Amino acid sequence: MRKKLAELVAGKGITDKNVLRAIETVPRHFFMDNAFLRFAYDDKAFPIGAGQTISQPYTVAFQTQLLELKKGDKVLEIGTGSGYQCAVLCECGAKVYSIERQKLLYDKTRQLLPQMGYQPNLFYGDGYKGLPAFAPFDKIIVTCGATFIPEALVDQLKPGGRMVIPVGEADVQTMTLIIKKTDGSTVTETFGHFKFVPMLGEREWKG
Ligand code: SAH
């Protein structure tokens, strides 16, 4: 089923061999709620509790491919969620730092990933702030929809680094790639529309 999923994602245009190998390797059913287990290898997003979703495999592959990961890259992920995207990054050889703002999901995923043999650094906190104490990062991936590009995250990107973030006002976002050049200036490219759960600010989730 994993092999079929990797083939499906390749058929939709993913060419990065490492990304396809990761999709073929990571057992997505470990990250799903029991009620949806039999759909684990469908190319769809599903609820994971706390009003959040596990991203669609194609979206995970698309964002990961845009990062152009090299083995040993230090990667910051915003929105750990189920941990599936995090596991895909680990499989690609990245050293992952991931932030989640939902305590329930943070606690669950913090248990699951080490049990599966993945060793990312997981944090409970506000992704808008990033992780200044661990910056700079080679790559940054945001897995929730932001209404703007957080300045703090761009600041925490290394010169030569890449950041992938879905940006949009409503419930549809434009996949946006920000490349920080060696002189510190940035260039932005966009890659079509995707649907993510919203990236929420402190006020929205602490009430
Ligand atoms: N990468 C995840 C996707 C989960 S959905 C996976 O593969 O399953 C996006 C996640 O972003 C949700 O879990 C949500 O709680 C989290 N999120 C939303 N706003 C956030 C913020 N400001 N900081 C950190 N995480 C946030």
pLDDT tens profile 138-162: 999 999 999 999 999 999 999 999 9
CATH of 2-195, one of 3.40.1360.10, 3.40.630.30, 3.40.50.150, 3.30.1330.10: 3.40.50.150
pLDDT tens profile 43-88: 999 999 988 999 999 999 999 999 999 999 999 999 999 999 999 9
Q: If you measure from the C-alpha of residue 144 to the centroid of ligand 1, how many angstroms do you get, rounded to a whole number?
A: 5
- Res. 206 pLDDT band, cuts 50 70 90: low
Is 98 assigned a catalytic role? no
Pocket lining: 79 vs ligand 1, CB cutoff 6 Å: yes
Candidates 107, 144, 164, 203: which one to mutate for ligand 1, based on the most atoms within 8 Å of Cβ? 144
Q: Buried b / exposed e across 166-201, counting CB within 10 Å, b at 16+?
A: bbbeeeebebbbbebeeeeeeeeeeeeebbbbebbe
- Res. 130 pLDDT band, cuts 50 70 90: very high
Global pTM value: 0.97
Pocket lining: 74 vs ligand 1, CB cutoff 6 Å: no
pLDDT tens profile 12-45: 999 999 999 999 999 999 999 999 999 999 999 9
For residue 52, which of 151, 203, 197, 207 has the smallest C-alpha distance?
A: 197
8 Å CB contact between 69 and 163:
no
Rg of the Cα atoms in the chain: 16
**Residue 90 belongs to what H/E stretch?**
helix 84-91
Q: What is the longest distance spanned by two Cα atoms in the chain?
A: 50
By CB atoms closer than 10 A (0-12, 13-18, 19+), residue 35 is exposed
CA-to-CA distance for 133 and 81, rounded, in angstroms?
Answer: 22
* pLDDT higher than threshold 80 for residue 203: no
